[in-house]
Amino acid sequence: MQQTNKGVRFVKRPLEKPDVSVFAMQERALNPIGQGQYLMRNIYLSMDPALVGRMRDEDNYADKVNLGDTMHAYGIAQVIQSKNQAVKVGEIRLGRIDMQEYSILSDASASTVINLGLADANWYLSAVGITGATAYFALNEIGKPQVGETVLVSSGGSSVGSLAGQIAKQMGCITVAIVSTDEKAKQVKQDFAYDQAISYRGKSIDQLSADIQKACPQGVDVYFDNTSGDISEAVLDQLNQNARIAVVGRLGISHLANSHDDIGRRDHNILLTKRVKKQGFVILDYQDRMKGALIRLARWVKEGQITGLEDRMQGIDAVPDAFFKMLDGKSTGKQIVQLAEINDMIDPAPRWLGRLMIAKYFPTRWLARRLTGGI
């Protein structure tokens, strides 16, 4: 009996905020792999706001998903067959594996081998993976926070935002979160040690700006922008001279079919008069420096200096619900879906080496700096 591969197909480009009509479940025959290919059983899928950008029929920093194709997604998978000399059976890999139970790839560099001695597999989808590296590099490369400065994080309870807040705290900064509700504001202060947290839901731009001013009495030096839209407009008048803005996400305009339809106050006067630096951030630009960031982040996780909440659902049929739970801000932490279990017995990675790199007396900081070019 031929094996099948169940997944989530993208069937409709959204005209507003995506809803369940954009997806359809599918089940197809799993074809034998050819020369140069490798087959992976997908273990964890990551639900990320950036996937909305791939649904739009416009230029983006990542490939858009075509109608009828399996919906894009990053995740963790384990190689179960290989006809590629650069890929070993049993390897646990991180990459774009899409919303399906199995994935077949040809390029060995399209996924990255991970070491479970450094961190558990699920952490590679949050603090010790793309999520953590996004917070790490966007803060250090664009935000460049200094001790005592105020760092404001929109979507401060999200997987990326919560890590950005914690890393800024490690750097000696005052941290403030913008979240959806008052209840969530209390939660993020407790879970992620923000100094202040404020809510945006039901408030006008002027009301939110006034709340930001109260929460940031010394003004905003670094704005970690996960949302764009009205929330980011409310920040403008609270920016200090020589403030830095890292544009990381666009969750606040996810309801638009085309980002060209975004409207609001133009920010050029503020940028000019206050000499504000505003720069977009895409993690793809930092692939050659990821290893050092992940080592540093894994050490922080082991030492308890940063943490993360996880919202885990089970099975491929749960993927659409998990995606919209994340998009609606209802996830209690990083939203992932588990599809299978890892077979530890066939993993060829030297886990002892991963454990060594985050051991108490290992020069983790030195190695991380060497691999990240100085951070």
Q: What is the pLDDT of residue 257?
A: 55
Q: How far is CA 158 from CA 172, 310, 332, in A?
A: 21, 10, 9
What CA–CA distance (Å, rounded) separates 228 from 223? 11
pTM over 0.75: yes
- pLDDT tens digit sequence for 4-15: 999 999 999 988
What CA–CA distance (Å, rounded) separates 164 from 175? 9
Asked if residues 180 and 200 have their Cβ atoms less than 8 Å apart, the reply is yes
Q: What is the pLDDT of residue 308?
A: 84
What ranges in the chain are assigned the alpha helix state H? 51-55, 130-137, 159-170, 182-192, 205-215, 229-235, 268-273, 290-303, 319-327, 351-357, 364-372
Q: What is the pLDDT of residue 57?
A: 78
Q: What is the pLDDT of residue 68?
A: 94
The overall longest dimension of the chain from CA atoms, in Å, is 69
**Sequential pLDDT tens for the chain (375 residues):** 679 999 999 999 988 888 999 999 999 999 899 999 999 999 999 999 888 888 887 766 678 899 999 999 999 999 999 999 999 999 999 999 999 999 999 999 999 899 999 999 999 999 998 899 999 999 999 999 999 999 999 999 988 999 999 999 999 999 999 998 999 999 999 999 999 999 999 999 999 999 999 999 999 999 999 988 889 999 999 999 999 999 998 765 555 555 666 676 788 889 999 999 999 998 888 888 888 889 999 999 998 889 888 899 999 999 999 999 998 878 878 899 999 999 999 999 999 999 998 988 888 888 888 888 888
CATH annotation of 130-284: 3.40.50.720
Q: What is the pLDDT of residue 85?
A: 95
Domain ranges in the chain? Answer: 4-125+309-342, 130-284
Q: What is the pLDDT of residue 255?
A: 53
What CA–CA distance (Å, rounded) separates 100 from 318? 11
- pLDDT tens digit sequence for 191-233: 999 999 999 999 999 999 999 999 999 999 999 999 888 899 9
Q: What's the CATH class of domain 4-125+309-342?
A: alpha beta
List the 174-179 sheet strands across, edge first: 196-199, 174-179, 150-154, 220-225, 239-247, 277-280
- pLDDT tens digit sequence for 304-317: 889 888 899 999 99
Residue 113's nearest CA partner among 102, 104, 103, 124 is 124
Q: What is the pLDDT of residue 145?
A: 97
